[in-house]
Structure formats: structure tokens, C-alpha cells
Chain A
């Protein structure tokens, strides 16, 4: 156990914990740095991996753990720092180089070819060859059989990968890594979409891997499995590896505190409900939006409500189900169970268009792929959201070009969108200005609810303040807001109330004085099996 006082400090002056093995680490990372567009993802990280060990990585969204793994996998080129494998310094410039050095990387998208069989995927570019490049099928079969036995593949490898379950695809990916004689396998959120039984199976395979002297780097938000599985645990916060310790040096609450980086305020959560009640009584009328027991994909039985003019944040870690909820609210997807109630009326929108007619609009998560028409002009992107009022006469679908340009110009001025002209392709604008375009698209409509999936991701500080002001003004005029941000600080600063999701369920709500980053984050880590931090 670690004393609580030790946890408060921010800088990794000296890493705690003893080296878990006497032998030298297999992979040594020193001083690794990486910035994305000025934001530091890794601020000089030292990191070791031993063979035959599970090294668990934990930290909030954007703490740097995924970037580190991606550097090892050759998917991201570090700005500075060194990586040594087996004592030899290597430059991992591409995934192929990583593979050559025995480093395998498995993440949620799994990099498999969907319409190839499991076997074909395992062998992709890996089959044993005789001279002249002819496949040595006997040796190849022997390799595959060995791997199949080792990780206990019981399904048919002749099946196409897109017919396999997610858990089975994981096994194919692991098998693929083993056939490539991987000495290290990094897994990013392997159990995020697995059932508990499937997760147990995967854990057994992981144990099997380390028993055969493979190193496993295991990234997960699920603290119970990290605590259960890891020989060594490294905690990331703001691009630093803030603490490394052996199994047993952490328990659940000390791990949460280390991830959050400060002391919890236990009394803060207790009266959240009381305040919530107060709010409700204060505002008088019923809620504009009620989400009732909505189930869809990873989301299970999610309920919450939003009042008129209220800004409600959806907090949670990657994979907690925030985007799924946002899409259901905005009419993109239909709920599998439960309902969305707007202004007291249950609504079953089948499309975004239907939701829009009820005054519900969405700013999607992926700005460039789901929101914008990149090679089209600013004016095109702005006007598309509301074309009817631009007609010469309402009953004839002929657009008035002058009116369209005038409206686009008015919106750019109103929101301070920096573009050389409204004819500039929107793809050449900065992220902040692009986000403003997406919000502006809906402003000419009679909005009752605006759903922002990622309020201001990849947006500079100035534009972020602008966006906050724009949305606040909207809320002040009576539009309700549902906002998602992976930056907890931003949610806390921006929202009236935050509904925190964990593993597809509502883990709790915070508002008023309880709305602190630490409280939100501790709710993010609320496990289904351990209801310690959940209020009410």
C-alpha cells in the first residue's frame, strides 16, 4: 500500500516501485516525446517492458498511454527519445519495422481483412517459404497448429473474419502476432467490447502468453482487470508516466487517486442528488429532453434528462458509450430499447432529417469525415443545414444565390469564422473555424436541442473560448445543450451538470460544487462490480 500523501505530487521526479525483475528489461524506452499540433502527448517518458510479464497501462483519455503504444508499433513517429530492444537501439519507422523486431500491436479495429478467412489473416505475409518463394505448406501448417493449440482456438479458422465474434477476432490477431514470432504484444482496450466471459477467456490467453516468455503491454480503462492481470502497472497523466509499481503496490482506490492526480473529496458526491433535486424544483417546468432506459450497442439502460436552456455534459472514458447516446438523441440511430422523449412526446426519429424537424441538431464527433464537405466552400457547408429559407419563393425549389451568400457572410461574421472569403474551401480552415462552421450550420434553424459530440477537440485556445461563448449564448436563449468532451476539465468548466457514463451505464451525475474533475474522473472508473464511488 502507498501512503496517500505520496500521491499528491505531480512530476515523476523518481519512479516508485522496485524493478519487478532482476534481469534487464527487454524493451527500454527513454525520454520519449511526442506532440500533436502543439499539444504534448508524451513529455519525456521512460518505460520498460520485461519478457514474461504483463505491463498494465492506465490513465485518463489523452494521458499518453495510447501514444506510447503507437510509438512502439511504428504508427506514430516520436519527436525525441530512444527505444532499445534486447539492448540494441532501434528506430521503429513503420509497422513493418515493428513487426520485424517482434513487436505486435492489436487495437480495437484489429487490422484484419474482413472477407479473408481467419487462417488467411493469420498468415497474411507470414507463411513459411521455400526457395523461389513457394509456400511451404507443411511448415506453415505446423506453425499454425502450434499457435492454435497454445491460445486455444476452438472455432473454425476457415470462417471469414467478418463472421467471427469480436473475441474470436482478438484470438486471430493474437495468433497472427505469434506466427510472426512476436516477443511483445501490445493490446489497446482489448476487453472494451467483450462480454465478461469472453474477457475471462482473453485474460487466460494473456496469462498463457506471458508463461511462454512473451511480453504483454495491456492498455485498459478497466481497473479491476489491470489490477488482476498486471505484473507491473504504469500510470500516465498529462503525457507523463507518473508512477510505476508492481502488482500489490496498488489497490483500486490508490490507483484511481494516482490516475486523477489529487485527493478525492468524498463528501462531494454524497449530496449530488439533493442539489439535483433543488435544480429541478427551481426551474419549474418539465424537462425538454428525457432519455429513458436507452439501450444501443455498448449502451445499457441509460436515463437522464435535460431542461430548457441547460448545458448537460456527457462524461466518460473512450468506449463508455457517449457517442452512441449522442447519436440516438440526434436521430442518427434508433435505440434498441428505451425511448427518447422530447417535450413530453416520445420520438422515434429514423433519420437526422426527422430530428431536425423537431429542432434537434448534431455536431458530429469526427469533424472532417462526418461533418464537413472539405473541398466545398464555407458557404456551401454553412447553407446546407437549412436550405428552404433560401428559396426565391417557398413553393419552388429555386435558390436565391444572393440570399445564400448574404446569409453565409452574416454567419461567418457573427461567429468570427476566419476565412479569406465564403468561397474558401472549408478544408483549408483551422480546426476551430471548421467547428464554428458546423455549429453555425444549425443556427438559422429553430433549435431546441443541440448535441455536440466533442465540443472543441483539436481546437486552439482562442477558438475554444469563442465556441464556448457561442454555445452559452445559444443556451441562454433557451436551447438545451448536450455536450461531449474527452477533456474533463473542459466539461467541468463549461457545463451546468455532467452525466458520467462508465461502460455503457450512467455511473452518476455531478453538478454545482461537486462538479470537479476529480469527482467526474472517479465516476468514470466506477466499475459495474464495484459500486464504491457511485452516488445514490
Chain B
């Protein structure tokens, strides 16, 4: 199937004479954009370092950025899996908030041990993912609507569970200390999210399940005709994003020392921004774990630098929201030009 014999109209011929051909220009742009996030990240770091070497360019601050990134990376990692199968999960922020109060409540009200409370909470997250997945894959509800609806239900559940009060008292010290202590000089939240992301990377890249996830996201009908159980694969993806969201909520509770309502809601936006930004990193609009990590670090470096610059925290939303729109735009453009 070639278009070689197709006549080319005059305008196009002139264009070809003057510039590179359309194709070559696009290819060049794509190669540049693959590294654009990394280059911009580096540029940002250099600018911040020159501007405030004493506060930005320090070991402690880098650890700080990593620490801040770890929770976003955790929730964004799960979201990456859902986006890979071509669906949205807008419930993750609310699921993480619910998990935060739930884990606190299970320990202080129900008196569960730390491991039991954490396992139960993550299981609830996986359950939320199963419901989302079933609504999308079996009931064929648009994933944006389904997960937004479920997310809103989760907000209600959070309030009902806590009566609107934060749960602060009665949590074991070892739980409260977890997120603020280090193991081998690395903060424990960083280790946890590194482990989870490594696990997700292995699933996506080295297992048959990963191949099926990629296939379903690439072309669901072709996947079905190739013998893949599309429904089950999609549900699995939602389970991943739900469980990751729950774990994020657990870590956040440990970090802030209480189970607070709506504490993790804002992670939704930064997770989306990071994953979409990541999809243009090293690939052409294809969601992947390494890209997601780069995206998360990019956003947190930006926020960190801005706060060192003395920019009010309210501007963080402008930054993150702007990055999201920009990243989705870049990702869409990149995909449009590679799929032909």
C-alpha cells in the first residue's frame, strides 16, 4: 500500500524544496521531544541551583525532593497501568484519601496490628479497583464517568467513616515513624515506592500479562480476536491503580501522622500530569513506568524550586495544571504522528 504514485500538488512540492520534507521534520521534532522532559528537568535544576545554591543544591534537598516524589510516584505508577489499557481512573485521589483514614481508623478504633491494617486497606483499594474495572469492562460504562462516580462515592464513605473528624490519636508510634525514618540513608517511603514501581515495571515489561495489557491498550478488538480476555485484563489494570492508590494513602497517613479526610485528593492531578508527561519521555506518547518516574520527579523539582523561589504555594496548582495540559497535548501530538 504505497502512495508513491499519487500526484503531489504544487504547494507541497514547493514546501519540500524549501524545507525538510514533512516527515523528516516531524521525525526530528519527535526525537527532540523524547528528551525534552529530561532536558527541561536538567535546565530547571541548573537554574534553581544557580539561584539558590544553599537551599536547592544540597543533599538534603535532593532527598527531600525524592521523598516528596515517592508518594506521587506510587499513585502514578498504578495509574500508568490503567492508562496503558486505554482507560482513565479518576477515583485514585479519593481512594487514597479513604485509605488514609481507613488505615488510621483500623489501627486506632479497631485495634488492628500495623501489617493487618495495611493489608486490609490495600485490599480495599484493590476492591475499589475491581468495582471500577467491572463497571468499565463488563457494564461498558465510560471509564471517566464510572471512576468519577465511584470516586465521589468514596468521598462520602470517608466522611461517613470518620464523621468528618481526622483520626490522630491511637496510632502506634512505629507506624507514625515509618514515613519519616530512613533505611540505609534512604527514606523508607522512597524504598517502598521504588519496590512497587519495580514490581509494576517487571509486570509490564517481562510478563505475558504485561504483553496482554499493552495489546489491550494498543487495539482492544485485535486483542480480543487474538484470544486475549480483554475484560479481565482491564479489571486487573484497575485493581493495580486502586491498590497503588490505597498504599499511597497509607504512606501519607504515616507521613502526616493522622488520617485526614481529603488529604490525598490533590494527588489525582499530579499523577495524571506526571504520567502524561512521562508518556512523551523516551517514547512517543506511550505510557511507561520509567517515563512516569521522570514525570513525577520533574513536577516535584518544579514545585520544590518554586517554593524556594518564594512563590506562594497556591501557584503550585497553576504549575501542575499547566504541566498536565501541556503534557497531554504533547502526548497526543506524538501519538498522532507515530501511528501512521
Contacts and interface: CB of A to CB of B under 8 A. Distances in A.
Interface residues of B, number: 28
Interface residues of A, number: 36
Interface in B195-216: 202, 206-212, 214-215
Contacts of B286: 375
Contacts of A37: 1-2
Nearest to B5: A38
Contact of B227 (A356, A397, A431, A458): A356
Interface stretch (B135-143, B147-155, B217-225, B256-264): B217-225
A407 to B, nearest CB: 13
Given A37-B2, A390-B208, A427-B339, A352 B218 contact: no
B224 A376 contact: no
Contact of B229 (A351, A372, A388): A351
A352 B227 contact: yes
A384 B340 CA distance: 22
B194 interface: no
A371 B207 contact: no
A362 B225 CA distance: 7
B306 interface: no
Identify the interface centre among B1, B214, B229, B338: most chain A CB within 10 Å of its CB.
B1
Contacts of B221: 369-370
B226 interface: yes
B120 interface: no
A373 interface: yes
Contacts of B2: 37, 430
Contacts of B191: none
B206 A353 contact: no
A389 to B, nearest CB: 10
Interface in A418-453: 425, 427, 430-431, 441
B32 to A, nearest CB: 19
A401 interface: yes
A391 B339 contact: no
B214 A387 contact: no
Interface string A365-395: 0000111111110001001110110110000
B228 interface: yes
B102 to A, nearest CB: 31
A488 B229 CA distance: 35
Interface in A464-496: none
Nearest to A362: B225
Interface string A75-104: 000000000000000000000000000000
B218 A375 contact: yes
Contact of B1 (A355, A384, A458): A458
B1 A430 contact: yes
A391 B202 CA distance: 13
A52 interface: no
Nearest to A400: B206
Contacts of B222: 364, 369-373
Nearest to B203: A397
A373 B218 contact: yes
B227 A351 contact: yes
A374 B223 CA distance: 12
B168 to A, nearest CB: 42
A415 interface: no
Contacts of A391: 208
Contact of B215 (A373, A398, A431, A458): A373
A67 B222 CA distance: 28
B227 A380 contact: no
A210 interface: no
Given A37-B1, A372-B219, A373-B218, A332 B225 contact: yes
A341 interface: no
Contacts of B338: 375, 425
Interface string A221-254: 0000000000000000000000000000000000
Given A362-B225, A376-B218, 12 more contacts: A38-B5, A352-B225, A353-B228, A372-B219, A373-B214, A374-B339, A380-B211, A380-B215, A383-B211, A397-B209, A398-B207, A458-B1
27 contacts: A351-B227, A352-B225, A352-B227, A353-B229, A355-B227, A362-B225, A369-B222, A371-B222, A373-B215, A373-B219, A375-B218, A376-B214, A380-B211, A380-B214, A383-B211, A384-B226, A387-B212, A388-B208, A397-B207, A397-B208, A399-B207, A399-B208, A399-B210, A401-B206, A425-B338, A427-B339, A441-B226
